[in-house]
């Protein structure tokens, strides 16, 4: 007799029913991640520094909204107590100042590091503590291809994204014995407000599109599947990893296609 769907242990592999997920950074990629998590059964808390963004995404995903500035350590600690236990944590919030090192202002350096790296540590610590105490959970931090490869003008952003990967690996090592998984997602070029400067320049846009193997930019929705995977039991033995969702950007050597 053939196996029925109810007997197949893989039928619900990506389901998140009964799971509570906190999404930090509710616009752009974060909004699509929230919709995908909700579609698979998760109950969402959507947090963002901009209250309107949090509320809009929460309304779309059928979840709760939370106004939260993750660069405010005290506010993050309070939120960890107010939100209560979460099974899934997704952190997408980031910023960038694109300038050569010699032109970088210390205030700009501090602003990028404060959000991209220091806040990642704060959020990992505040919400990871509860997950470790309960002995379960999945944490997903957004890094970037810039954590692996760089270009002029990306020094501080790239350093923070590489640093986020190392925080993820360390948290995976420390939280793993308690049953908590910690992973990173590294997108390539995605059409979001953060990349508006590039997409507004036709030559720049085209150069980035042709750098990857797929020859195009990503839509924010194309990152959502990776989030669901890492949040779900489908990734039950995946931790300390960086999932490259970059259209082959880091797989391709150079920008010239030689004759074959």
> What count of other Cβ atoms lies within 10 Å of the Cβ of residue 242?
17
Residues 6 or more apart whose Cβ sits within 8 Å of residue 177? none
Give the single-character DSSP code of 255.
Answer: S
The whole-angstrom separation of Cα 35 and Cα 47 is 14
Nearest to 147 by CA among 101, 184, 100, 120: 184
Tell me whether residue 241 is exposed, middle or buried, using C-beta atoms within 10 angstroms of its C-beta: 0 to 12, 13 to 18, 19 or more. Answer: middle
Q: Can 157 be counted among the known catalytic residues?
A: yes
Token couple for 75? 């506010």
For residue 225, the surrounding DSSP H or E stretch is helix 224-231
162, containing H or E segment: helix 155-175
CA distances to 25, 30, 73, 126 from 119, in Å: 12, 16, 8, 10
Distance of alpha carbon 42 from alpha carbon 35, whole angstroms: 10
Q: Which of 157, 205, 208, 237 is catalytic?
A: 157
| Spatial distance between the Cα atoms of 128 and 1, rounded to a whole number of angstroms | 46
Which residues are known to be catalytic?
Answer: 157
């Amino acid at each position: 007799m053939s196996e029925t769907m109810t007997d197949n242990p893989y039928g619900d592999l990506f389901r998140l029913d009964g799971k509570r997920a906190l999404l930090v950074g509710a616009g752009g990629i974060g909004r699509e991640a929230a919709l995908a998590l909700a579609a698979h059964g998760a109950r969402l808390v959507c947090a963002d520094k901009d209250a309107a963004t949090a509320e809009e995404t929460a309304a779309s995903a059928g979840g709760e909204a939370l106004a939260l500035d993750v660069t405010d350590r005290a506010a993050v600690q309070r939120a960890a107590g107010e939100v209560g236990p979460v099974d899934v944590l997704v952190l997408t919030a980031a910023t960038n100042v694109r300038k050569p090192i010699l032109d970088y202002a210390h205030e700009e350096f501090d602003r990028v590091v404060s959000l991209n790296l220091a806040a990642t540590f704060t959020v990992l610590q505040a919400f990871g503590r509860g997950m470790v105490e309960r002995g379960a959970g999945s944490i997903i931090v957004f890094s970037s291809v810039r954590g692996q490869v760089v270009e002029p003008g990306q020094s501080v952003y790239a350093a923070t994204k590489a640093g986020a990967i190392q925080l993820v690996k360390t948290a995976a090592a420390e939280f793993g014995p308690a049953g908590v998984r910690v992973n990173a997602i590294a997108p390539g070029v995605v059409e979001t407000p953060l990349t508006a400067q590039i997409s507004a320049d036709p030559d720049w846009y085209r150069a980035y599109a042709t750098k990857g193997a797929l020859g195009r930019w990503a839509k924010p929705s194309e990152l959502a599947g990776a989030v669901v995977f890492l949040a779900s039991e489908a990734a039950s033995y995946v931790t300390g990893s960086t999932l490259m969702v970059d259209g082959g950007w880091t797989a391709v050597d150079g920008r010239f296609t030689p004759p074959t």
